[in-house]
Amino acid sequence: MLRLHSRKGFGGSKTAFGTHLFLEGLNHIASYQDFQYSDDSLMTHIKILQEDYERLSVYSAEWKISQRRAAHRIFMNAYIIRFGADIHEL
């Protein structure tokens, strides 16, 4: 799904789309629902500024989880808000 959405307006770059969606979630969501997370080979990268990385680190510490898992949580919340996906579909 990420690849499909990235082709619609992000020039096919999963990194650009993932970064955009992550930042949308980081900057516009106040409460984050938790999601099942597995650290496997299916991932995408994001490119964020130092100040955004520091905000991610605060959430990671607050939730007592890895930064990767915290980024996943923020991203998934933004994805659901943006695309209206049912949590059970993910």
CA distance 54 to 60: 10
Higher-confidence position of 9 and 13: 13
How high is the pLDDT of residue 40?
Answer: 75
Per-residue pLDDT of 14-66, as tens digits, reads: 888 899 999 999 999 999 999 888 877 777 889 999 999 999 999 999 999 99
Q: Is 6 exposed, middle or buried (0-12, 13-18, 19+ CB in 10 A)?
A: buried
Task: Give residue 38's pLDDT.
Answer: 85
In this prediction, residue 89 carries a pLDDT of 54
* Alpha-carbon span 53 to 74, nearest angstrom: 12
What's the pLDDT score for residue 7? Answer: 75
